[in-house]
Amino acid sequence: MHFNANDSILVNIVASALIVLVGTLIMKLVNRFFQARLQADNRGSYRAWTVATRNLVAAIVFMLLLGIWVSELKSVAISLAAFAAAMLLVGKELVMCFLGAFMRMVSRPFQLGDLVEIGPHAGEVIDMDVLSTTLVEVAPARQYTGFTVQVPNSMLLTTAVRNHSKAGGYALDMVRIPLPLGVDPDAVEADLLVAAREACAAFMDEAGRELRRYGDMRFVDLSQFEPRVVFDPVDAARYDAVVRFPVPIGSRLPVAQKIVRAYYRRSARAIEVSETRVSDAG
């Protein structure tokens, strides 16, 4: 029995379909395996294993498909120069995504589970592949929105990446308190420092050790990690008090809310005491 060219192509198509089917089945089994053993304390490690296994299976499938079709690709009547030109014109973004993935692999600006900002997009990294990076979106108010954002890897070549998890389990965060003109900045600073120190008291020592260790590794002075207040003029009728404080990466929102609530409670009590004195004097 002799096979002609059409029979060979049919065999290649069937073999390719079987390879893709087996790869998809393996990935579903891997996902089911890890999901059945998922617990709160191993979520990050299982996510990393799932992504690594998927990328490995995808690479093996790609190499097998390339081996099947390489003889057919050689017979395509197109010059290498023309093919390269066509790829640059038609697939520029695709090539940039591959280059961005390579740059991410070499420089490692972030890992799975890190809290990052890539251009206008901010969130926790939950998936990475050769074309995109997937984030669970975090709003400016430091709350998860429930949406996922797929950022093309080409943005890694042209956009700065801010990694909030690079210093380990702790970072320096800031919260702004708008103030009208006429408010005593010394009194505001004292109230905010009391509120920030109370909110950070439980982890202040550990945060200091982590931040100093990271600063020593990077030759950066992070010894001034304790809460600090500076004032930023916004316009002629308003200025902001900016509170900087150490915080665990996963607790930025609750700690910031503790500081804001404590400050406004102290301000409300001060106003109430002042009004009481005025009424008593009257």
Evaluate if residue 212 carries a pLDDT over 70.
Answer: yes
Neighbour-count burial of 103, counting CB atoms closer than 10 A to its CB (0-12 exposed, 13-18 middle, 19+ buried): middle
Q: pLDDT tier at 162 (50, 70, 90 boundaries)?
A: confident
Tell me the two tokens of residue 241.
């008090």
CA 275 to chain centre: 47
For the chain, the domain total comes to 3
270 shares a domain with 174:
yes
Which of 211, 206, 242 has its CA nearest to residue 227?
Answer: 242
The 3-state DSSP class for residue 139 equals coil
pLDDT above 60: residue 232: yes
Is residue 160 pLDDT above 80, yes or no?
Answer: yes
Question: Comparing 67-81, 173-187, 226-240, which segment has the lowest mean pLDDT?
Answer: 67-81
Q: Which two tokens stand for residue 211?
A: 């931040």
Average pLDDT over residues 63-74: 73
Do residues 198 and 250 both lie within one domain?
yes
Of the three residues 140, 166, 192, the one that is the final residue of a domain is: 166
Of 167 and 208, the structure prediction assigns the larger pLDDT to 208
pLDDT at 172 over 60: yes
Residue 134: pLDDT above 80?
A: yes
Q: 84 and 71, same structural domain?
A: no
CATH number, position 159:
2.30.30.60
pLDDT higher for 49 or 40?
49
- 55, 83: one domain: no
Q: Residues 204-220: what's their mean pLDDT?
A: 81
Domain shared by 157 and 90, yes or no:
yes
Q: Are 177 and 222 in the same domain?
A: yes
178 and 153 housed in the same domain: no
Do residues 102 and 126 both lie within one domain? yes
72 and 82, same domain (yes or no): no
Same domain, 235 and 153: no
Q: CATH no. for residue 188? A: 3.30.70.100
Q: Convert 166-203 to b/e letters by CB count within 10 Å (16 or more is b).
A: bbeebbbbebebebeeeeeeeebbebbbebbeebbeeb
| 4, 97: one domain | no
- Of 63-72, 124-133, 207-216, 235-244, the one with minimum mean pLDDT is 63-72
**Which of 6-10, 81-85, 151-155 ranks highest by mean pLDDT?**
151-155
Q: Which two tokens stand for residue 47?
A: 């996510």
Q: Enumerate the β-bridge partners of residue 67.
A: none
Same domain, 3 and 19: yes
Mean pLDDT of 214-225: 74
Tell me which of 36, 58, 77 is where a domain ends. Answer: 77
In the listed set 77, 99, 117, which residue is the last one of a domain according to the structure?
77
Mean pLDDT of the 135-147 span:
82
Residue 121 β-bridge partners: 118
- Contact yes or no for 202/270 (Cβ under 8 A): no
| Domain containing residue 62 | 1-77
Where is average pLDDT lowest: 40-44, 54-58, 138-142, 223-227? 40-44
Least confident of 39-48, 142-151, 220-229: 39-48
